[in-house]
A and B are shown apart, each in its own frame.
Chain A
């Protein structure tokens, strides 16, 4: 599941930007006719192109714990963190709390900043001042494993 994009992913232009990318071969259309798109094929869809907008500033981290399950983040999921994005109200962010990296939903309210857990069993964390909070980066995508791990 690719969740939590702050904005819809841009239209996938088919272009070769990374050889590590997931390759999807062009599927031929109705039998008997040559594909009218064949001449325009210039590489495969590139997953990196869709997920990573700033190569230098994007990091991959791994979630540990179940405080964000309601946001679609399970224990062991990989998160793409784009540090070039300015954190906004409602973003899922990685924040620095007591020297530790924590993933929570950022809520900027009238009574200060709340790092909201997306699981009823976990408490929210209130930060008195925005300046007290160090946001490490904005989580743009979650790689949620649907079929277990190797």
Chain B
């Protein structure tokens, strides 16, 4: 069985941990340059503040309804995400981090055989994250990833489930009712364009897709849609590392190692591979990243626990594997020889569409080989960011990639100067 854990309105929830006053307030989190709404709390969604809407359009009405808006605090979200995953690792031997706020956990065989045990596991996970981190999550447990995600949707939508939905533990009649009620777009990987095409063939609800002849689906669409249909029947055909959804706000590449990594050399290799994979995903979605968080961790059961992490603000948004690899390697000085690392990963945030920065990258690359980038970096470190730069952009960064975060909350877990204040 697979458990899917997903943080409720993740960015908003992470903000609320450090500012309880925001607990009941409709809260929206804005994208780069405070342009768009990238996350909204339940209260904000209820007011019709949807994701992807430009903030300047919403601002006048939002202010009147008491909405609080904050800039994306990538440092905070990255660190809280790492903590969430660290807690989840205590519940499985195989954690597949799918994004900044969701992960798939392999449920052990004994628990998988017992619906009651699975329900307990779901609540244990949910309670642990609430207690240890103050983060609310929902849990879906089912035979396949697609069904686990669907169960999670149910857990989020239906209050009676208390945030945990174990698919096999639910009455089949009720399951059918639910699947008939949900549009096919609620299924993982079915985007709106595909939904329209499916609709043209009479596949409107989740139930339709689950009961249609898979061979027929394959003939009409492709093998990916067929696999999704099979997954809805409880036949697992989508494995880890498969990314069959569209554009993202963040990309994460992280897996538990099959064998513990104990040397810096091996870690360097693993991080290099992850960086290449991350770059490939960026290119696939025509995106570039501006922030890279790299992390590694020993097992929760290890005697000497060690969880190094580093967040690197890339000099400019990039999908260049060389750049990303180099940035990922900045974790290496923290790696302790002989420690037994069970996992490592890369988290790319602050993603923007590729293209705008292209001329600049070409301009920069030849100089990199000559070591000029390193030299500039050293001079800038000594004498300040604006003392020396490369070409146009190096000196005075353009507005598109110098992020404006005017409503930034404190980076409470990564910066000493910005710790949360408690009244004494």
Q: A residues within 8 Å of B by Cβ?
A: 15-20, 43, 54-57, 59-68, 73, 75, 78-79, 83-84, 94, 96, 99-103, 134, 136
Q: Please indicate the chain B residues that have their CB under 8 angstroms from the CB of A65 in the complex.
A: 423-424
Instruction: List the one stretch of B145-153, B204-212, B414-422 in contact with chain A.
Output: B414-422
User: How many angstroms from the CA of A39 to the CA of B310 in the assembled complex?
Assistant: 33
| Nearest CB in chain A: distance from B242 CB, A | 27
Q: Please indicate the chain A residues that have their CB under 8 angstroms from the CB of B336 in the complex.
A: 16-19, 43
User: How many angstroms from the CA of A79 to the CA of B419 in the assembled complex?
Assistant: 10
User: How many angstroms from the CA of A45 to the CA of B421 in the assembled complex?
Assistant: 29
Residues 280-328 of B contacting A (Cβ, < 8 Å):
303-308
Q: Contact check, A15 vs B304: say whether CB atoms are below 8 A apart.
A: yes
Task: List the 6 closest pairs (A to B, CB-CB), nearest first.
Answer: A99-B21, A65-B424, A57-B132, A56-B86, A63-B424, A101-B422
| Nearest CB in chain A: distance from B128 CB, A | 9
Q: Please indicate the chain B residues that have their CB under 8 angstroms from the CB of A19 in the complex.
A: 308, 333-336
B238, CB-defined interface residue at 8 Å: no
Q: Contact check, B132 vs A67: say whether CB atoms are below 8 A apart.
A: no
Residue of A nearest to B90 (CB): A56
Q: Contact check, A55 vs B86: say whether CB atoms are below 8 A apart.
A: yes
Q: Please indicate the chain B residues that have their CB under 8 angstroms from the CB of A15 in the complex.
A: 303-304
B133, CB-defined interface residue at 8 Å: yes
10 cross-chain CB contacts under 8 A = A56-B87, A59-B413, A60-B419, A61-B412, A61-B421, A67-B424, A68-B424, A78-B419, A84-B132, A99-B22
Task: Given A61-B422, A83-B134, A94-B422, answer yes or no on A101-B306 (Cβ-Cβ < 8 Å).
Answer: no
Residue of B nearest to A63 (CB): B424
Q: Contact check, A75 vs B424: say whether CB atoms are below 8 A apart.
A: yes
User: How many angstroms from the CA of A101 to the CA of B308 in the assembled complex?
Assistant: 28
Residue of B nearest to A18 (CB): B306
Task: Given A17-B336, A17-B339, A83-B132, answer yes or no on A59-B420 (Cβ-Cβ < 8 Å).
Answer: yes
User: How many angstroms from the CA of A137 to the CA of B181 in the assembled complex?
Assistant: 42
Pick the most buried of B307, B413, B424: most chain A CB atoms within 10 A of its CB: B424
Q: Please indicate the chain B residues that have their CB under 8 angstroms from the CB of A17 in the complex.
A: 304-306, 336, 339
Q: How many A-B residue pairs have CB under 8 A?
A: 96
Pick the most buried of B19, B336, B422: most chain A CB atoms within 10 A of its CB: B422
User: How many angstroms from the CA of A74 to the CA of B333 in the assembled complex?
Assistant: 35
Q: Please indicate the chain B residues that have their CB under 8 angstroms from the CB of A134 in the complex.
A: 20
A56 partner, pick from B132, B338, B339, beta carbons under 8 A: B132
B244, CB-defined interface residue at 8 Å: no
User: How many angstroms from the CA of A92 to the CA of B188 in the assembled complex?
Assistant: 45
Task: Given A55-B307, A59-B413, answer yes or no on A101-B132 (Cβ-Cβ < 8 Å).
Answer: no
Q: Please indicate the chain B residues that have their CB under 8 angstroms from the CB of A83 in the complex.
A: 131-134
B93, CB-defined interface residue at 8 Å: no
B50, CB-defined interface residue at 8 Å: no
Q: Please indicate the chain A residues that have their CB under 8 angstroms from the CB of B20 in the complex.
A: 96, 99-101, 134, 136
Residues 374-424 of B contacting A (Cβ, < 8 Å):
412-413, 419-424
Q: Contact check, B86 vs A16: say whether CB atoms are below 8 A apart.
A: no
B43, CB-defined interface residue at 8 Å: no
B23, CB-defined interface residue at 8 Å: yes
Q: Contact check, B132 vs A54: say whether CB atoms are below 8 A apart.
A: yes
A55 partner, pick from B305, B335, B338, B339, beta carbons under 8 A: B305
| Nearest CB in chain B: distance from A81 CB, A | 8
Q: Contact check, B334 vs A79: say whether CB atoms are below 8 A apart.
A: no
Pick the most buried of A17, A20, A134: most chain B CB atoms within 10 A of its CB: A17
B330, CB-defined interface residue at 8 Å: no
B268, CB-defined interface residue at 8 Å: no
Q: Please indicate the chain A residues that have their CB under 8 angstroms from the CB of B424 in the complex.
A: 63-68, 73, 75, 102-103
User: How many angstroms from the CA of A8 to the CA of B102 in the assembled complex?
Assistant: 37
Q: Contact check, A64 vs B87: say whether CB atoms are below 8 A apart.
A: no
| Nearest CB in chain A: distance from B75 CB, A | 14
Q: Please indicate the chain B residues that have their CB under 8 angstroms from the CB of A73 in the complex.
A: 424
Q: Please indicate the chain A residues that have their CB under 8 angstroms from the CB of B419 in the complex.
A: 60-62, 78
B180, CB-defined interface residue at 8 Å: no
Contact bitstring B22-52, A, C-beta under 8 A = 1, else 0 = 1100000000000000000000000000000
User: How many angstroms from the CA of A56 to the CA of B211 in the assembled complex?
Assistant: 43
Q: Please indicate the chain A residues that have their CB under 8 angstroms from the CB of B339 in the complex.
A: 16-17
B123, CB-defined interface residue at 8 Å: no
Q: Please indicate the chain B residues that have their CB under 8 angstroms from the CB of A60 in the complex.
A: 413, 419
Contact bitstring B73-109, A, C-beta under 8 A = 1, else 0 = 0000000000100110000000000000000000000
Q: Contact check, A62 vs B133: say whether CB atoms are below 8 A apart.
A: no
| Nearest CB in chain B: distance from A145 CB, A | 13
User: How many angstroms from the CA of A17 to the CA of B176 in the assembled complex?
Assistant: 51
